[in-house]
């Protein structure tokens, strides 16, 4: 690995030396100083090209990242005019990126089980702001989840607050 590195470095230095030598020493009749403006121009062009490539790469990178962030972090899918609360049994707790998800079995008015999903912030935000960890909930815990329901009527909540089995309220989700 080290040998490959030095081979690359020496090859690179030799190519620079060849360019320098051809520009400075190519025409001995006119003297070596006559090609200095060409050499300076060559280095200026190389610098401009390098900074252009870096700028274009950064612009495309920012556009790519920002586009997906705006598309992902909207609340347009949820009815933010109403807060819905459901009480149910945790069937699964996924403390993973990009959003923490709580899966619940909730009994409806007809005493039938409905599957609900509660979506919260990222795990890192819940750890910093709310004191959550991967063991905060476990299957079998009975909790109350409050949040904005999906506009399409599916049983999905964008969580605002969760009341844990011990009565603690975990807000700012």
Please state, in angstroms and rounded to a whole number, the distance separating the CA atoms of residues 145 and 169: 10
**Among 80-84, 91-95, 131-135, 146-150, which stretch is predicted with the lowest mean pLDDT?**
131-135
Residue 113, C-beta contacts closer than 8 angstroms, at least 6 positions apart? 105, 106, 107
Taking the domains of the chain in order of start, what are their residue ranges? 2-72, 84-171
Q: What is the mean pLDDT of residues 95-117?
A: 93
- The CATH number of the structural domain formed by 84-171 is 2.40.50.1010
* DSSP class of 131: -
Bridge-based pairing of strands 142-149 and 101-107 is unpaired
Residue-wise burial string across 132-141, b where 16 or more C-beta atoms lie within 10 A, e elsewhere: beeebbeeeb
Q: What is the mean pLDDT of residues 2-15?
A: 58
Which comes out higher in pLDDT, residue 154 or 10? Answer: 154
Please state, in angstroms and rounded to a whole number, the distance separating the CA atoms of residues 109 and 144: 16
pLDDT in tens, 148-173: 999 999 999 999 999 999 998 988 77
Average pLDDT score over the chain: 79
């Amino acid at each position: 690995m080290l040998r490959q590195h030095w081979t690359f470095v020496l090859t690179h230095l030799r190519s620079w030396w060849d360019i320098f030598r051809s520009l400075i020493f190519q025409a001995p009749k006119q003297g070596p100083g006559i090609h200095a403006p060409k050499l300076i121009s060559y280095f200026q062009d190389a610098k401009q090209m390098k900074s252009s490539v870096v700028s274009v790469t950064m612009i495309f990178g920012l556009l790519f990242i920002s586009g997906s962030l705006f598309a992902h972090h909207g609340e347009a899918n949820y009815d933010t005019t109403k807060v819905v609360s459901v009480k149910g049994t945790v069937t699964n707790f996924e403390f993973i990126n990009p959003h923490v998800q709580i899966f619940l079995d909730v009994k409806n008015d007809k005493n039938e089980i409905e599957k609900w999903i509660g979506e919260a912030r990222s795990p890192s935000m819940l750890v910093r702001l709310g004191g959550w960890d991967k063991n905060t909930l476990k299957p079998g815990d009975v909790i109350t989840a409050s949040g904005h329901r999906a506009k399409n009527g599916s049983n999905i909540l964008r969580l605002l607050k969760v009341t844990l089995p011990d009565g603690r309220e975990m807000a700012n989700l």
